Structure 1
Amino acid sequence: MEIIELLTPHYEVAWLPWAVQYFFLVGIATCAALIAAGCAFAAPASAGDRLLPAATVVLAVAAIAAPVSLLADLHQPGRFWHFYAHFTSWSWMSLGAVLLPAFVGLALAFCAAWWFSHRPLLRVLGVLLAAAAISVLVYSGSEVMVLKSRPLWSTPFLPVNFALTAWLAALGAMLLVARWLPGGTASLPGALVRGLIWAGIIGAILTALSWMATGMAGEDASFTQAQRLFAEFPAWRMSFLGSIVAGLAIIMLMSCAPRRLLHPFYSLTVAGMLLSVGWVFRWIVFMEAQEVPKYGAGLYLYSLPLGSDGLLGMAGVLGLCIALIAIATWLVSELRGRRCLTRTPA
């Protein structure tokens, strides 16, 4: 009788939790940019104009915090410089090294134009910012989708899911920061925010159904991989079922009386759910997907480090965001005190 022993080598994860923070924050920044750019064309005192302060604060915070997470993920400054010294037009990462700084620069310029109430300039920057935001959404989703060695990532539905979950997370962030802006959550246009959230929910449902339909037709390998993981591993079953439960919970929250959305406690609950969905989706995509071997059976075991590459780094990014929110909301309050929230075109 012959005994054959199979050994599986231990591999370090290629994408650290820093990547989760970066994709989460850059998704919020781009979607907040799209919403803020649209609100820039709204009439004064309209629903869009009332949403603009919260959208601008979220844009400023996420646009500053996202590159910090990216640089931490790169670890070595030389790797960042390499994108410029040896530019490769066919690499999504090289393209991102150009697109991301352009987006951040336009985002900060947009926030400055809003601060100085220069409406014509704000609208010009809004058009450029929207185009830059779309380019970053495409690049950030595509640089993961092109990795054909992992079937879970290699699907055109991944960038769409990134964008939709980021859209919901950005709206959740606006509900969160609005409580520290002048007027609190009551100053938000409830009907508009509710409509934008429903647009993201419906988009996510349609995307999931399309993914299932193409997968069952044998045209998407990621669906087949997901089916195998669901059938063989309880941890993945819990992840998939948890995603469904979270989605249903958000739908139930949004199905209640429309006016409740602006209630301080209710808005905090909705904001927490939307932000959690956006973050957990990226954690599953990046960290849990890396536990699946490219070749072989079983799962790799991953334990979250306590240092800067794990829990400490995540806490640091959270602290940075809290500090930026505190600064931004204080500046907006000062703006109201000096100008009494008058918004006249320049």
Structure 2
Amino acid sequence: MNITEILVQPQAIAWLPWAVQYFFYIGSAYAAAILFLLSYIFRAHTSHYLRSALVLTMSIGAVVGPLALTGDLHQPGRALHFYSNMTPWSWMSLGSLFLPLFSALAILTAWLYLRDDIAKLKHSDNAIAKKISLFSLGDWQTTSTQMITVTVLTCLSGLTIALYTGAEIYVVQSRPLWHQPAAPLLWFVTAFIGAIGFALLLLALFPIPAKANAFTQSDQGLIKRALLVSAILAAVLLPIWASNNASFSLYESDAWLVRLGSLAVSFLACMGIALLASKIALYNRPQLLIMSAISLICCWYLRWVTIMDVQTIAKFDQGPYPYELPMGSAGLLGILGMAGLWLALALAASEIVAIQEKSVKSVKRVKSVKNSTVSQPLKTQHTQ
């Protein structure tokens, strides 16, 4: 009997941390599109602030996500190869068609919804705000039919993103933890946790007065139901996903038990903040930041475990194949860079809301001054 040892040459990891960032931001974008459609249909019960947070989560994620994808392709020019060499049988090639369409529709939806807010900036004393008001492109009113039509198209386009992002990893048969229906379903349901997390972060950035009755009970109900249902479904799908690996049992590895336990705890934490959502004031910034951090960490860490850590499992021989996160642009710096870009765009959008709030107050002051100047002569004449 001959014994043959198989030695595998060291090879670079296939999916870089850039891919985690892409799935993270683009997932929150299409989930926010669905939540925004629901909030707009029931706009008589939801607040403008929550709808603005959701539509900005959708549009910002639709911009930041594709940029992270070009980083995973190692150079932006490689994206052009998808269009010069179309392969319709490839999910990644189809994604090159789905992604620009979704990004364009997401930005169009956000622009249509925020047009009235942008137009009000012309009353501001700030010169930059007045120039920004020109982006409203006229004084015409956005109708409800236009908004619902564009939002429905955006949601349908977002579902194509969910389909292709799940399918392009599902087709990798050499990875049993990817090649199973539970994997794309797990990414889909947790995308709503990320969307709520980003929306809560935007609400914390908005200049909402503490005593203003800006939110409704339906706002809290939407946040509660979205978080609770997503976390429960994720907690059900996680053990199903972990069990579908015939060659390697995750439950026999101490490292994987820690990862799976951490994910389970994060899902329970999301359920906890969902149950407390009805008791939390949405204008309380510290509470919003805590809820946002728990949701975003849960969503991001699930993608890190299911994409990056899965690649450390040996395909043929016995491992281990540890992965160390580099400090450069392909690792920690890239993660911080994408987070900084998202935050910068969010701050810019929230500043527009802040300028609008100031402009509305300035208009009220002007009106009060005019009323006082008109009433003063009348009062003097009456005295005479």
**1:33 matched residue in structure 2:** 33
Shift of 1:199: 2.0
Matched, 1:137 2:162: yes
Query: How many angstroms does 1:164 deviate by?
Result: 1.0
Compute the TM-score of the two structures, normalised by the length of structure 1: 0.87
Offset from partner CA, 1:149-168 (integer Å, 9 cap, x none): 11111111111111111111
Q: Distance in 1 between matches of 2:18 and 2:36?
A: 26
Q: CA RMSD in A?
A: 2.4
Structure 1 residue corresponding to 2:299, chosen from 272, 278, 282: 278
Could you tell me which runs of 5 or more consecutive residues in structure 1 were left unpaired when the two chains were aligned. Answer: 216-221, 341-346
* SS of residue matched to 1:47: coil
Preserved CA contact (<8 Å) 1:65 1:320:
yes
Give the whole-Å Cα distance in 2 for the aligned partners of 1:174 and 1:137: 19
Contact 2:37–2:148 (Cα < 8 Å) also in 1: yes
Q: Give the Cα separation in 2 of the matches to 1:65 and 1:184.
A: 30
SS at match of 2:154: helix
For 1:153-199, what per-residue CA distance to the aligned partner results, in whole angstroms no more than 9, with x for missing partners? 11111111111111111101111110111427974421221122112
Which string of whole-angstrom CA distances, capped at 9 and with x for unpartnered residues, describes residues 95-123 of structure 1?
Answer: 10000000000001011101214243222
Letter in 1 for 2:62: A
* Corresponding residue pairs, total: 328
**After superposition, where does 1:156-305 map in structure 2 within 5 Å?**
156-183=181-208, 187-188=214-215, 189-208=219-238, 222-224=244-246, 228-231=249-252, 233-256=253-276, 258-260=278-280, 262=282, 263-305=284-326
User: Which letter maps to 2:184?
Assistant: P
Q: Could you tell me how far apart the structure 2 residues matched to 1:257 and 1:166 are?
A: 19
What's the offset of the Cα at 1:21?
0.5
Structure 2's unaligned 5+ residue stretches are 117-141, 362-384
CA distance in 2: counterparts of 1:70 and 1:208, whole angstroms: 26
Separation in structure 2 between the aligned mates of residue 192 and residue 77 of structure 1, nearest angstrom: 38
What amino acid sits opposite 1:30 in the alignment?
Y
Contact 2:13/2:311 (<8 A) preserved: yes
SS in 2 for 1:40: helix
Which structure has the bigger radius of gyration?
2
Match of 1:325 among 333, 346, 371: 346
Structure 1 pair 143–4 and aligned structure 2 pair: CA distance change class (3 A): closer
Residue identity in the other structure for 1:36 = F
Q: 2:80 matched to which residue of 1?
A: 81
Distance in structure 1 (CA, Å) of the matches to 2:304 and 2:65: 16
Question: What one-letter code is carried by the residue in structure 1 that aligns with 2:225?
Answer: G
Match of 2:126? none
Counterparts of 1:88 and 1:257 in 2: how far apart (Å)? 46
| TM-score, structure 2 as length reference | 0.79
Residue number in structure 2 paired with 1:109: 108
Task: Give how far 1:296 is off.
Answer: 1.0
* Cα distance in 2 for residues equivalent to 1:83 and 1:102: 15
Q: Which moved more, 1:198-207 or 1:133-142?
A: 198-207
Inter-partner Cα distance in structure 1 for 2:151 and 2:5: 61
Q: Which amino acid aligns with 2:65?
A: A
Q: Is the Cα–Cα contact under 8 Å of residues 251 and 257 in structure 2 kept in the other structure? A: yes
Letter in 2 for 1:58: T
Identity of aligned residues (%): 32
